[in-house]
Amino acid sequence: MKFTKILGTTLITSLSIGILAACSSAEEPTSTTEPASTVTAPAAPVTAAPVATKPEEVRDLGGLNVTIATWVDVNEPEVKASAQEEALWEYRHEMMEKHNFTIEEKALGKWNTTLELMSTSMIAGDPAAEVFHVSAGFVNSVMNNNLAYDLSTLDELDLNHWKWDSAVTDFLTRDGQTFGVFPDQTPNSFIFYNKRLFEDAGLDPDLPYDLQASGEWTWETFEEISDILSRDLDSDGINDTYAMNKNAGIYDYAIISNGGQMVSRDSSGKFINTLNTPENIEALTWADNYLKQDYTVSPSHWNGHEQLFITGQIAMIAHDKEKLLLFQDMEDDYGMVIFPKGPAAEDYVVTGTGAGWFIPNTYTPEQAADIAFALDIWASEPPGYDAEDDWMMEDYKLFRDERAVEETMAKTKEPGIMVLNNRSQISAINANDLYHPMLYQGSTPTEAVEAVMGIFDSSIAVANGETVIAE
């Protein structure tokens, strides 16, 4: 796709109506005597019968107000940032007026309280919202406690449409019943890199893109590049630029990028503890060694990682895509690739969280159908921006180069590249209990894993709805 893609598409449908011409000819005269004169009367014009058009059947929701309970208000901006955003809100207003309903995403709690709001208001017999946005760590409780309506019974939602994140839909489906959906989510597991620092170190600024495209963007090449990027410019024995910031999250990135999961799911959808597997130990060992090389530096304060990247003190930073909003005013140019893959992985991997939108099961089928109808409209793109690859138009405005969109982000849309990090769906598991002993206390990966296996087992049992018997 060209970087200057036309932002609008006009669909023209033409209906051609054939005009039937009735032609009549006089019978042949029986007499062979030719008449003295022949006068041919002009044929009367034939008018086609009007084609009856069936009036459009417009679904009237009867003034229904749908509230999506979440933790951040989604308000219509007074000034639209793009033609797409202008078209989106115009489409939403048009659909709300046409079908006689309103819908809004309203902050009715915090990220960790919408489940409580959902359950307590349902018990009281008056759900606080028609749809609840529940964060990843709590969606299991929604399903285990039978709080959500089975969306697979509703014709108003095409669960296979690309607008819905297929990884989330799969996770929120049990025994053929789908309890929640969520729009295509922002993936995680990326490396942003400073192109100027690559050039200063004698590296091609497009090298990460080229390696990613060839399949050679691996842990090994990542280490080689990190060694080159970590530079002592004044020969005082201390690096002036580093490859990366010291971040415990690299352990998590390494596990996912090696095709592993701390927590997996069996065929019935139940969580199982897979922390102590060969690919996970390999990933933790690699990440631990990497973080203890002279490639990384800690910020002066706990949340200063982004500032290290923005100011050019580190050449790379591991982050989710949304963090690029912090880099919009950065002076140096930057690119973005997927985190390099480990030796046990077949391809690159990005992750999502698994948060979902749920309709309470206390609604009648008719009520649930109307709510789903409105929700589907809210999640839809406006006409002209609703092709499967039109997401690129918005991403082009966010990134500094085409390759981040046409290669990196396009790669994340391929089947099997996006996976849910199951560990993040169990709120009782604190990954720092595993990471910090390695990073700060000198524990080996094997020792750190053994120390938390029992915690993982009990937390997983609770997430599965099992009874945990204290010893």
* CATH code, 106: 3.40.190.10
Pairing of strands 356-358, 131-134: antiparallel
Q: Is 21 domain-assigned? A: no
Task: Share the mean pLDDT of the chain.
Answer: 87
Residues 414 and 458 in one domain: yes
Residues 259 and 382 in one domain: no
Residues 156 and 228 in one domain: no
Token pair for residue 119? 């359950």
Q: Is 302 domain-assigned? A: yes
If 0-12 CB within 10 Å is exposed, 13-18 middle and 19+ buried, where does residue 23 land? Answer: exposed
Q: How many structural domains does the chain have?
A: 2
Q: Is 380 domain-assigned? A: yes
Q: Is 90 domain-assigned? A: yes
CA distance 51 to 19: 11
Q: Where are the alpha helices (DSSP H) in 37-165?
A: 83-99, 114-123, 139-144
The structure's pTM equals 0.79
Residues 238 and 171 in one domain: no
Stronger pLDDT, 334 or 48, i.e. the higher one: 334
CA distance 356 to 115: 11
| Confidence grade of residue 51 (pLDDT, cut at 50, 70, 90) | low
| Confidence grade of residue 2 (pLDDT, cut at 50, 70, 90) | very low
CA 378 to chain centroid, in Å, comes to 16
List the one residue out of 375, 387, 360 whose CA is nearest residue 96.
Answer: 375
Residue found by looking up tokens 């982000």 in the block: 409
The per-residue b/e assignment along 100-139, b for 16 or more CB within 10 angstroms, e otherwise, is ebebebbebbebeebbebbbebbeeeebbbbbbbbbbbbb
Residue length, the chain? 471
CB neighbours of 174 closer than 8 A, spacing ≥ 6? 143, 268, 269
Residues 201 and 304 in one domain: yes
CA distance 194 to 399: 13
141 and 156 in contact (C-beta within 8 Å)? no
| Confidence grade of residue 343 (pLDDT, cut at 50, 70, 90) | very high
Helix (H) or strand (E) holding 305: helix 305-310
CA distance 34 to 307: 105
Residues 96 and 222 in one domain: no
Q: Is 300 domain-assigned? A: yes
Q: Is 55 domain-assigned? A: no
Question: What sign for the dihedral angle of Cα 325, 330, 333, 337?
Answer: negative
Over residues 164-174, the mean pLDDT reads: 91
Q: What is the reported pLDDT for 391? A: 85
434 and 255 in contact (C-beta within 8 Å)? no
If 0-12 CB within 10 Å is exposed, 13-18 middle and 19+ buried, where does residue 212 land? Answer: buried
Residues 341 and 260 in one domain: yes
Residues 297 and 376 in one domain: no
Q: What is the reported pLDDT for 47? A: 57
List the one residue out of 85, 182, 119, 140 whose CA is nearest residue 418.
Answer: 182
Residue 296 clears pLDDT 50, i.e. is over it: yes
Residue found by looking up tokens 């706990």 in the block: 302
Residues 435 and 364 in one domain: no
Q: Is 393 domain-assigned? A: no
Q: Is 53 domain-assigned? A: no
CA distance 133 to 108: 10
**Looking at residue 422, what DSSP letter applies?**
G
Residues 334 and 373 in one domain: no
CB neighbours of 23 closer than 8 A, spacing ≥ 6? 43
Domain that holds residue 112: 64-185+354-386
Residues 86 and 141 in one domain: yes
**What would the pLDDT profile of 386-441 be if each residue is shown by its tens digit?**
888 888 888 888 899 999 999 999 999 998 899 999 998 898 899 999 999 999 99
Helix (H) or strand (E) holding 282: helix 278-291
103 and 378 in contact (C-beta within 8 Å)? yes
| Confidence grade of residue 5 (pLDDT, cut at 50, 70, 90) | very low
Residues 371 and 243 in one domain: no
Phi, psi of 466 (to 5 degrees): -90, 155
208 and 193 in contact (C-beta within 8 Å)? yes
